[in-house]
Chains A and B, each alone.
Chain A
């Protein structure tokens, strides 16, 4: 069985250079100081002696892992109210706490609960959020993440991504063979499910915009083909199995098409747009070079892709209707695997930084390139749906592990997996409630 992913806070690095830094308090060494907050243990009103889930624990972990908050320990709390009316603001201001969360879980019926919480600013003595939502045993964890999202957004102005998911590929050595698995988990690594496994490589997972399907490349039968699989049912269908390369799928914003790489018998990889329903493929590039790793801009107008038509790999873009490609990256000898931020302002890529392959983000307006990671073989950057965080794969003692980094490079954390070689993480879109 799959070991749970364990997350470890790493470092919070900081250079206070841009506007997003103002939410963080910067000390003289230039180290970001996370905001002290208190998530008071939630009350439980139900028949069983104990709450079925430690709601405050889930919220605590979410806020702590964001790197922007430092929840205080329960033992340091001077009071533990579960209702807003019982909050004594002085008990929190004296500890320097800048936000207090109280709440409770109420059993309302057979497998029916209400989760309610309130967020207070003890300095202004005001309630910032009060919210209650229904939950079942199956949705309780998601409800706790949603509460954390609301708290995070209220305090930072940035939409939370605690309720989102991550898909990734693992490879485990089993005797002489390797077992490849496609996994979907909550963004904190909990609640992981194996979507597909194979003794042949699995590559390049991509989320559909409604986060109900994954496209991926499978080498079953020792040749490449592209599948689209529905997560809930497990049903999958093959959308491309042409001779040669079938690779690098990525959904269009409307979810009806995939941009893919097809190679043909002569092995010249080019960018195609594939209609998922009709399976009709329209060729976009015709160059002799390697053209691959296509991805749509969020407005659907452009497709960004990697091409080595100028020698080494660089990123280009072409109108989604075809036309002449236009080069986008010029800095350095190697820029590949483009991914746009969902807000359309930034482009993430794998960038060769003096011999090390690292994750870099280019501001599309200023063209400034910011290197976000510090490994030697970092790859597969993917933006969270709030455009504020990226996930990518790096190496630790020979195995692939996942890391997240804030888009400004200030907060980086490792997400260590207990088993196998973990690679190709992709962050899901926001869930639709």
Chain B
């Protein structure tokens, strides 16, 4: 796979990250996880030039860290493939870096079965990372099922926000 191609994908996704995402009900997943750090975002995306190692160092804050899923699905949607690809680059750059994929499900149905569904989503992201060269030892998965919802309500849009994988870099 062309490194340059992935690179341009990253650039594109960094630019896209600045725009509101039209499809996902939660308009800014980045904000949820890194709400306090949003000030650092733009300098990383627009400031440093291409090829600068610094760009990747700041990339964590510009990258989307939450992947959302359709009902009863563990397929990473087309618009989220770029986010995963960018994380793959980051992990390939630094073989000491490790990532934790936290899978979640909406509240419908049985709790332990939902643990299985959340795990399946985390595994889908894991597979995508591994296909792009990330070492299995760099990836940990955990499923919280329906136990840690992002949205507390019981509407369709709440459910859509809760069917997700959160990509976390343990410190």
A contact set with B: CB distance below 8 Å: 178, 201, 203-204, 219, 222-224, 243-245, 247-248, 261, 263, 265-267, 269, 290, 292-293, 306, 308, 313, 334, 336-337, 350, 352, 357, 376-377, 379-380, 395, 398, 423-424
A265–B115 touching, CB < 8 Å: no
B154–A293 touching, CB < 8 Å: no
Contacts of B148 in A (CB 8 A): 178, 201
Contacts of A313 in B (CB 8 A): 109-110, 113
Chain-A contact segment, one of B3-11, B89-97, B118-126 = B118-126
Contacts of A334 in B (CB 8 A): 109
Contacts of A244 in B (CB 8 A): 119, 141-142
Give A245 to B143 CA distance when docked, in angstroms. 7
Contacts of B145 in A (CB 8 A): 203
A337–B113 touching, CB < 8 Å: yes
Give A424 to B147 CA distance when docked, in angstroms. 12
Q: Which of B117-163 contact A (CB under 8 A)?
A: 117, 119-120, 122-123, 126, 136, 140-145, 147-148, 152-154
With A201-B144, A267-B141, A306-B110 as contacts: A247 and B115 at CB distance below 8 Å: yes
Contacts of A379 in B (CB 8 A): 109-111
Contact with A along B80-108 (1 / 0, CB 8 A): 00000000000000000000001000011
Give A266 to B145 CA distance when docked, in angstroms. 17
Expressed in whole angstroms, the minimum distance between the Cβ of A402 and any Cβ of chain B is 15
Contacts of A204 in B (CB 8 A): 111-112
Residue on A nearest B72 in the bound complex, by CB: A312
Residue on B nearest A312 in the bound complex, by CB: B72
B113–A292 touching, CB < 8 Å: yes
Residue on A nearest B153 in the bound complex, by CB: A398
Residue on A nearest B143 in the bound complex, by CB: A245
Give A265 to B147 CA distance when docked, in angstroms. 21
Give A222 to B143 CA distance when docked, in angstroms. 9
Give A376 to B120 CA distance when docked, in angstroms. 25
- With beta carbons under 8 angstroms apart, the residue of A201, A223, A290, A352 that contacts B120 is A290
Residue on B nearest A263 in the bound complex, by CB: B119
Interface residues on B, range: 20 to 34
Question: 5 tightest A-B contacts by CB?
Answer: A290-B116, A201-B147, A336-B110, A267-B123, A337-B110
A292–B116 touching, CB < 8 Å: yes
Give A321 to B128 CA distance when docked, in angstroms. 37
Give the one of B122, B144, B147 with max A CB within 10 A. B147
Expressed in whole angstroms, the minimum distance between the Cβ of A334 and any Cβ of chain B is 6
A223–B154 touching, CB < 8 Å: no
- With beta carbons under 8 angstroms apart, the residue of B107, B109, B115, B136 that contacts A245 is B115
Residue on B nearest A290 in the bound complex, by CB: B116
Expressed in whole angstroms, the minimum distance between the Cβ of A375 and any Cβ of chain B is 11
B112–A248 touching, CB < 8 Å: yes
Give A247 to B143 CA distance when docked, in angstroms. 10
16 contacts between A and B (CB under 8 A): A244-B119, A248-B115, A263-B119, A267-B119, A267-B126, A267-B143, A290-B116, A290-B120, A293-B110, A334-B109, A336-B109, A337-B110, A337-B111, A337-B112, A395-B154, A398-B153
Additional A-B contacts beyond A219-B147, A243-B140, A350-B110 (17; CB < 8 A): A203-B111, A219-B144, A245-B119, A263-B119, A263-B143, A266-B123, A269-B115, A290-B113, A290-B117, A290-B120, A292-B112, A292-B115, A306-B112, A306-B113, A376-B154, A379-B110, A398-B154
Give A261 to B113 CA distance when docked, in angstroms. 10
Expressed in whole angstroms, the minimum distance between the Cβ of B2 and any Cβ of chain A is 29
Contacts of B111 in A (CB 8 A): 203-204, 337, 379-380, 423-424
